[in-house]
A and B are shown apart, each in its own frame.
Chain A
Amino acid sequence: QTVVTQEPSLTVSPGGTVTLTCASSTGAVTSAYYPNWFQQKPGQAPRALIYSTNNKHSWTPARFSGSLLGGKAALTLSGVQPEDEAEYYCLLYCGGAQGWVFGGGTKLTVL
């Protein structure tokens, strides 16, 4: 079973920039993994941010962007706001046999 790995925690200052990454235990993440990113705040359902590597939903703030970086999927937040403090999850498609696999999540602190 593929393991998807994210940084457990990151801290960023308001107005700063931070990049979260998402790695696959089977090798480099490519667009064929259809990388997705979700934001979850305490007590709330997750909210979709990015699909298919770098596509934003209509509700996704412009400061969020997705990419592939060094064999990983990446989520970059530019001009971080206090309300961006949350848990962020990536989701990869790992083929027909395994389906969708979530990463363990990154707790982002804005401090």
Chain B
Amino acid sequence: QLQLQESGPGLVKPSETLSLTCTVSGGSISSTSYYWGWVRQPPGKGLEWIGSIYYSGSTYYNPSLKSRVTISVDTSKNQFSLKLNSVTAADTAVYYCATHSSGYYLPFDYWGQGTLVTVSS
């Protein structure tokens, strides 16, 4: 059973970089059918796709966040990561990592529990 777990700071200062890691267990991040993604949800609001990555390094980003986002994969640690720079209070949200386990067009079938990141000084 595939399991995902987010980790990282729960508090980030404005203008700094938000960094989160998702650790994958129960499967290999290098599996050819898997893509790996990030979704966020501001408190009391809806879901927003941030971006997705294939183990080879191919990335797909939400155009509204593309200029600030980097998603990367570390196959040696079975992890993938999210960096969002120049954060503001509007980036305060629960951040979820999730997988497309059977190809890019079957998104987010397995999810992490989510981690709340607050942007505040």
- Interchain CA distance A102-B105 in the complex, whole Å: 14
- The reply on A66 being an interface residue by CB < 8 A is no
Chain B interface residue count: which class?
20 to 34
Most chain B beta carbons < 10 A, residue from A46, A100, A104, A105: A100
Identity of the chain A residue whose Cβ is nearest the Cβ of B61 in the assembled complex: A99
The contact sample of 8 A-B pairs, CB cut-off 8 A, is A51-B106, A91-B107, A91-B108, A99-B51, A99-B60, A100-B49, A100-B62, A102-B47
Q: Per DSSP, are chain B's interface residues mostly helix, strand or loop, or mixed?
A: loop
Given contacts A91-B108, A102-B46, contact A1 B113 (CB under 8 A): no
| Chain B 104-115 per-residue mask, 1 if CB under 8 angstroms from chain A, else 0 | 011111111110
CB distance from B55 to the nearest CB of A (A): 18
| Residue count of chain A within 8 Å CB distance of chain B | 25
- Interchain CA distance A97-B84 in the complex, whole Å: 20
CB distance from B6 to the nearest CB of A (A): 10
The reply to whether B109 and A99 form a contact with Cβ atoms under 8 Å apart is no
The reply to whether B63 and A98 form a contact with Cβ atoms under 8 Å apart is yes
